[in-house]
Amino acid sequence: MTAAPDTDDRPTSSTDPGASDRRSGELIAGRYRLIERIGEGAMGTVYLARHEGLQRQVAVKFLQEEFTGNREIAARFAREAIAAARLQHPNVISVYDSGADELGRCYLVMEYVGAESLRTVMEREGPIPRERALALARQIAAALDHAHSLGIVHRDIKPENVLVLDVDGVECVKVIDFGIAKVFLPEGPSGPGLTRSGIVLGTPEYMAPEQAAGAEVDRRADIYALGVIAYEMLVGRRPFDSDDVMSLLMAHLNATPPPPSTVRPDLGFGPEVDEAMAKALAKSPAARPQRATELVEQLDAALHAPVVVKTPTVPVPPDEPAPEPVPPDEPAKPEPARADEGARPPALRARYGLSKSGRMLLGAAALALAGGALSMALRGDPDEAGERPTLTAPPRSPAPSSPEGAGPAGDDDLDDRIDALRDGPEFTVATARQRQAAARSLEALRAQSPNDAALAFVLGSIYARDRSTHAQALGSYGDALRLAPGLGAREALVDDVVRIFAASSAHATAAGELLRGPLAARALDPLVEVLLRGGSGRSRVAALLGEAPFSGRLDPTQRGLIALAEARSCEAKRPVVETLGREGDARALAPLRRIPIGSGCGFLGLGTCNPCLGAAVPSAIRAIEARSPDAG
């Protein structure tokens, strides 16, 4: 028998406001000590508990007592335990145990994760930047493909069932609640699957057409729901929305989802994204991607589709002689004009110090990368949603001849050199494969010219675009700053290093050294901007801003935002919020508005968010708005 200290012997209703207090301290199955109720859903109530033997926190989910006598729902709850226990994946909540207590209440013991739901994230932040949305979708897809490989269909994929947590500065996803999952098990003594055609289970906003019709569903219903989530993350709204459930179901059955490019033209989605989303949300299951990861791969390719532009080819005459070396006491001789000079980018000219083999490497890079030059407009911040890149670079005038003694390290020549490399065909870097090819070609050039600051800088900008090459980015940027300290004034370099510092603790030490050192004069505002816009790494950024040389340059609003980022509890946030209300300016509005208030926090997203800030946050926002009438 299980002990139930400080409670009476009668069953308590989980909907009773006093139920949580009466069950606190109760011991389940002789080992799970209930601590407090942390959430409640349609089918069950979730408690935070402690495993008495292992001394670790777990979550215990009880079937709602009103369903205890319902055989079908109780059997579905038991089936949840069987299905979920088979799922062993880093992006799925682990199930440890299940059973029923002495009063017949079914329970499920799960991994406890103190995180917020994807729904809370989207409501707070609106459209999610492209690279971040892809990273989240990729993890959801990995969880689904794992479940599908075991014959398990979730049937209720939605943002509320996706938890987002920070693990060493990296956003990780946990898919939860397989409570209405359909398990394709062979018919036998245990009988066929419980979920039958004609019964609609799920959430209408994310239902596949066949699911809305009450037909049999398979893994492709989950893929459709993932498509809806991806659409919502990128666009900031669902493809179909209505307060009327039947209208919503009919839209999934019959209506064409509006293309993202027409819903949010300001976000610059191209036709490739429209096509990828249309395929993900196809009415016919056969027309959709057949694996969840395939959907993300197609969307990734669409979001990074290169802009095709016709540009002059880059002639590299095979018989062109290498330039004669110039004696140090003799001024450089101007090269004779050639008929094809206007078509040749300055990057290939001998005056920049490249040998003939170096120029041929650049020509080879053009072939390896399918040719075509992209302007710098294509190199937006990969972590930010923004307008679709447009190619608006004006025709470049030939660069003036270098004065005697000037070389690539001179400011003007260095700028020309960087622009030439970026305008050249080797800088087609819209996809990961193109970036890898570009980096290989430029590394070969750098082996010939190890003191070329421009090459180091451009390599850093390429490596910075992919999380897997952030270490190389910091190394290349560090070399560039050592060779040409003036590059520390370049906004793109500073932004890249700040982004890498915030993105992962693995590179925080190396990035922090650059930010405290050669980039200190320019890094303060970009670091504070991380706190303003939210996202991962805020605590790490706040800690850096509290150190020299940044701490002495902070104003009251910046200090308040740092304190807010470092506060861990509602009680710790409250005095900071009140101080910002008294002293903060309009920059504090966005972070204050992102503080979740009300429901949607805690395990399964069913807890109350920051209950002690329900009045403090709106009061602070009103006070700042009154002082800043032009604030949006």
First to last CA, the chain: 60
How far CA 487 is from CA of 140, 458, 518, 585, in Å, comes to 40, 11, 9, 32
> Where do we find the tokens 């060493």?
168
How far is Cα 98 from Cα 159, in angstroms, rounded to an integer?
25
Count of other CB atoms within 10 angstroms of residue 117: 24
How far is Cα 502 from Cα 394, in angstroms, rounded to an integer?
35
Query: Is residue 424 a contact partner of residue 441, using CB atoms and an 8 Å limit?
Result: no
How far is Cα 438 from Cα 494, in angstroms, rounded to an integer?
22
How far is Cα 483 from Cα 367, in angstroms, rounded to an integer?
30
Q: Which of 416, 408, 419, 422 is nearest to 484 (CA)?
A: 408
SS3 call for 625? helix
Query: Is residue 414 a contact partner of residue 352, using CB atoms and an 8 Å limit?
Result: no
> Where do we find the tokens 């009045």?
615
Reported as type and span, the H/E element at residue 368 is: helix 356-368
Q: What are the φ/ψ torsions at residue 407 (nearest 5 degrees)?
A: -140, -170
How far is Cα 344 from Cα 363, in angstroms, rounded to an integer?
11
How far CA 97 is from CA of 83, 88, 307, in Å, comes to 12, 14, 52
Interior angle at CA 100, CA 98 and CA 104, nearest 5: 160
Query: Is residue 463 a contact partner of residue 442, using CB atoms and an 8 Å limit?
Result: no
Six-digit token pair at 38? 């942390």
In the DSSP assignment, the letter for residue 600 is: E
Six-digit token pair at 369? 């990368």
Catalytic residues: 156
SS3 call for 259? coil
Distant-in-sequence, close-in-space partners of 394: CB < 8 Å, separation ≥ 6: none
How far is Cα 576 from Cα 560, in angstroms, rounded to an integer?
6
SS3 call for 235? helix
Six-digit token pair at 587? 């920059």
Query: Is residue 281 a contact partner of residue 298, using CB atoms and an 8 Å limit?
Result: no
In the DSSP assignment, the letter for residue 426 is: G
Query: Is residue 9 a contact partner of residue 26, using CB atoms and an 8 Å limit?
Result: no
Q: Which of 149, 16, 142, 25 is nearest to 89 (CA)?
A: 142
Distant-in-sequence, close-in-space partners of 238: CB < 8 Å, separation ≥ 6: 205, 206, 228, 231, 232
How far is Cα 572 from Cα 394, in angstroms, rounded to an integer?
53
